[in-house]
Amino acid sequence: MLARSTTLRFDWLMIFLYFALVFIGWINIYSASLNDNASGYFDFSQIYGKQMLWIALSFFLIPFILAIDSKFYERFASVIYLISIVSLIGLFVFGKNIAGQTAWYSFGSFSIQPSEFVKAATALALAKYLSDIQTNLKEFRSQVNAFLILTVPMLLILLQPDPGSVLIYLAFFFPLYREGLSGLYLAVGATAAILFVVTLYTDNWWIVAIGILVIGVVAYFINRKRRPSLVKYTFIALAAIAFTFSVDYIFDNVFKQHHRDRFNIVLGKEVDERGIGYNTHQSEIAISNGGWFGRGWTEGTQTKGDFVPEQHTDYIFSTVGEEWGFIGSLTIILLFVGLITRIIFRAEKQKNQFARIYGYSAAAIIFVHFAVNISMVIGIFPTVGIPLPFISYGGSALWGFTILLFIFIKLDATNFHYT
């Protein structure tokens, strides 16, 4: 018994995938940030040099995370969560304003973005709360509490303002659903998303409203043998129409012009390749340049010409697409799919409910980052400033994802302790 509690069984596949992605990330950051002033791979004044430093530091971080007792994360989840919330509040006092966002603590030449760490802390807190024996997601009270855990960091991040990062918190609906939250929430969310896109696409809320009425009437008559409740149908239809109307209203009156433009470009309603659509368009060209096998490392013409802004951070995938081609892009997608499915697979195996919920949250967070970021780079999602996990440049993001992943690896390593 004693011997068992001190040995750990690491899931080497997850660890391998992590190192593969981080390595690929650095290779591409090197290519995207290489310029005439660079002097060798270890030039720490360069972006790729700094990233190498971050990667090296995270290698020190990993043994530290793994050394801490797995019970610590469960027991101190609330404390970690509270500290992270305080770090977000502290931003409004000590934070540094960069490009209109108060999202950074600045220490000399280094900056730290707390919101990258809060994701892991929130996952811990949510896992802790949901694994509590008294929590029952079928009850309204538990639902409210669970939502509250998510809403507090979301609001604080929204105030920075960093709407992209807020979007990530929707990932927590997957573990919530997995743990028994009514499917109605996901259904309502999915319907809302569809109505949102359709409303913006038609640009006439009443056309969508007519569509909703038609679908409602058809559905009612198909189901009429089961004697459906007319009141319920009417209520749902009215709610949907009200939503459509508010989308139309908010889009036209609350959104700022650059938000509208981002949506319109993805919906193909606006073609502006010189102005607002420039990023996406250039990144698409870069990716198209890749062909099957790409132009080769550091040979990408779009990449070298600095035509894609933010290429080493949010748009890093365009470098992958140009220099490594379809094969390279496919490889990265497969690595991500491998990592995410492996986390889900291992999470389902957890005997400890806390570890399972945490793992599920981690998988969902990485998935949303991955899906939103790549969709944005290849032009099927509006521009949202969130990084590609493990790949994009940025110390905070790299550390945040490293901590998120390795806490789960540690929890997973002690899984066999539970019998």
Burial 114-148 (b: 16+ CB within 10 A, else e): bbbbbbbbbbbbbbbbbbeeebebeeeebbeebbe
374 touching another protein, by CB under 8 A: yes
326 touching another protein, by CB under 8 A: yes
Q: How many CB atoms lie within 10 A of CB 91?
A: 23
Least separation in angstroms between residue 64's CB and another protein is 30
Among positions 336, 354, 399, 406, the unique one binding another protein when judged by CB under 8 A: 336
Least separation in angstroms between residue 209's CB and another protein is 29
Among positions 279, 329, 352, 396, the unique one binding another protein when judged by CB under 8 A: 329
Q: Distance between CA 395 and CA 397 in Å, rounded? A: 6
389 touching another protein, by CB under 8 A: no
Among positions 20, 378, 384, 413, the unique one binding another protein when judged by CB under 8 A: 378
Span of 21-29, 98-106, 245-253, 361-369 interacting with another protein by CB under 8 A? 361-369
Among positions 169, 367, 390, 399, the unique one binding another protein when judged by CB under 8 A: 367
Please, which residue, 62 or 266, has the CB nearer to another protein? 266
Among positions 69, 148, 337, 416, the unique one binding another protein when judged by CB under 8 A: 337
Span of 1-9, 48-56, 176-184, 217-225 interacting with another protein by CB under 8 A? 176-184
Please, which residue, 18 or 174, has the CB nearer to another protein? 174
182 touching another protein, by CB under 8 A: no
What are 49's two structure tokens? 């040099």
333 touching another protein, by CB under 8 A: yes
Between residue 210 and residue 239, which ones bind another protein under the rule CB under 8 A?
none
Q: Distance between CA 144 and CA 138 in Å, rounded? A: 11
340 touching another protein, by CB under 8 A: yes
Least separation in angstroms between residue 50's CB and another protein is 23
69 touching another protein, by CB under 8 A: no
119 touching another protein, by CB under 8 A: no
Among positions 25, 325, 389, 395, the unique one binding another protein when judged by CB under 8 A: 325
Among positions 177, 220, 233, 297, the unique one binding another protein when judged by CB under 8 A: 177
Please, which residue, 163 or 180, has the CB nearer to another protein? 180
**Strand 96-98 versus strand 110-112 pairing type:** unpaired
Please, which residue, 120 or 320, has the CB nearer to another protein? 320
Phi-psi domain of 318 (left: phi exceeds 0; alpha: psi -120 through 50; beta: other): alpha
* Per-residue contact flags (x/-) with another protein for residues 278 to 317, judged by CB under 8 A: ---xx-xx-xxxxxx-----xxxxxxxx-x----------
* Per-residue contact flags (x/-) with another protein for residues 146 to 175, judged by CB under 8 A: ----------------------------x-
Least separation in angstroms between residue 200's CB and another protein is 19
Binding stretches for another protein (CB under 8 A): 174, 177-178, 180, 183, 186, 273-274, 281-282, 284-285, 287-292, 298-305, 307, 321, 325-326, 329-330, 333, 336-337, 340-341, 344, 348, 360, 363-364, 367, 371, 374-375, 378-380
